[in-house]
Amino acid sequence: MLYQNACIENAKETQDIRVENGLFAEIAPRIAPRENEEVKDLEGRLVLPPFIEPHVHLDATLTAGDPVWNMSGTLFEGIECWAKRKDKLNAEDVKERVRRAVKLYASNGVQFIRTHVDVTDPSLVALKAILDVREELRNLADIQIVAFPQEGILSFPNGKELMEEAVRLGADAVGAIPHFEFTREYGVESLNFACELAAKNGLLMDVHCDETDDDQSRGLETLATRALELGLKDKVTASHTCAMHSYSNAYVLKLMRLLKMSGINFVANPLVNTHLEGRADTYPKRRGVTRVKELSEAGINVAFGNDDLFDPWYPMGCGSMRDTVYLGLHVTQMMGYHDIMNSYRFVTENAAKVLHLGESYGIAEGRPASFAVLEAKDWYEALSNNAPVVLSVRKGEVIARTQPAVKQVLR
Ligand code: FE2
């Protein structure tokens, strides 16, 4: 199969792409078609590596309004709504919603998903269901699972044992939620426990870290220190780090040195954190999004996630990575030309580093032929116009296609 005239990652000159046996066999400015080879002319459309959702909660996905809507939109009312929905949670319910969510993602060119799954549940029903359903969805997406202790490790009965059981069952990454633990000391101990669990089992880590406006919430410094000392480094991701938005600049100056040394990754979730943070503020209201610009400028890897998809905590979402990038650039004031052009990396290459995808990802000869074709000439136009993913190709197979809308102005 030969794809002609692809604008690969905003390149000025188009390239042709030959796909063979599910791999990128050849990428060059002009490739002569072979006899009987199928040819598709992309006519200069943008081609990107598949989008990656590096942070979502698939166990709660697609439950907004069921059985009740979150009327205030706050985190706490979200928890109340979820408590009512949790009664109905069973394996088939979880699987059915995960299937729908993964198909939504697929239609938007997302082929890799990291989901946090709540393991503060003695039956681990959601974890078992998602471990099961991910096999059936392999043709559409790779799903990485984080054992996520929503109600804490030290602050929930048998929290440590549940984390260990989740790892034994097959979780890919270890989570924690230090800012939610009863005390600061529990927070530190939970991080020590989680880091050691990850190190012992050779797993990745992804911590809900300081998802609060409290400028005294300092799980991040402990996480980065342990990542450094245990040699976990870029296997570790700090998600949210909203408190960093509110830290004093003097403290951030000191912290940055450690963050650079530690090599850890960051995931910001601009849609959900602008919506949920700043709720204790009157005016001015904080945005709650971590210091993406400063972290990026320091050479630290940052990706963007959606966090929630139509659930009690976030009532919107269509499984596209575009909106989180679009809003993320606004709230972090990264709207310079180069910032905009390069911003697709937050949900492609940077997210691939978070997930440790290595050479199984990216547009290069010899790698799996997985990519998204967008109805735009470059990422600037795609982002600005909310261009659809017209083709999503996974290991050489077209797994989703969208017919762009035709708009007509009649007068
Ligand atoms: Fe989250």
273: CA distance to ligand 1 center in Å? Answer: 10
CA distance 240 to 253: 19
79 has a pLDDT exceeding 90: no
What domains can you pick out in the chain, each with its CATH number?
2-49+365-401 (2.30.40.10), 51-360 (3.20.20.140)
The separation between CA 224 and the C-alpha centre of its own chain, rounded to angstroms, equals 20
Predicted confidence at residue 83, as pLDDT, reads 86
Predicted confidence at residue 302, as pLDDT, reads 98
27: CA distance to ligand 1 center in Å? Answer: 38
State pTM to two decimals: 0.98
Kind of pairing, strands 2-8 and 39-41?
Answer: parallel
Q: What is the pLDDT of residues 146-180, one digit of tens each?
A: 999 999 999 999 999 999 999 999 999 999 999 99
298: CA distance to ligand 1 center in Å? Answer: 24
% pLDDT > 70, the chain: 100
Under the banding of pLDDT at 50, 70 and 90, the label for residue 70 is very high
169: CA distance to ligand 1 center in Å? Answer: 21
What string of DSSP letters covers 26-68? EEES--PPPTT--EEE-TT-EEESPEEEEEE-TTTTT-TTSS-
User: Does the active-site annotation cover 211?
Assistant: yes
238: CA distance to ligand 1 center in Å? Answer: 11
Predicted confidence at residue 88, as pLDDT, reads 86
Other beta carbons within 10 Å of 90: 13
275: CA distance to ligand 1 center in Å? Answer: 13
Q: What is the pLDDT of residues 174-226, one digit of tens each?
A: 999 999 999 999 999 999 999 999 999 999 999 999 999 999 999 999 999 99
86 has a pLDDT exceeding 90: no
Residues in contact with 136: Cβ distance below 8 Å, sequence separation at least 6, in sequence order: 99
Predicted confidence at residue 198, as pLDDT, reads 98
Q: What is the pLDDT of residues 351-394, one digit of tens each?
A: 999 999 999 999 999 999 999 999 999 999 999 999 999 999 99
| Cβ proximity of 114 and 53 under 8 Å | yes
Over residues 240-256, mean pLDDT: 98
Over residues 332-336, mean pLDDT: 98
SS3 302: strand
Catalytic residue among 164, 181, 211, 277: 211
Predicted confidence at residue 87, as pLDDT, reads 81
Predicted confidence at residue 278, as pLDDT, reads 95
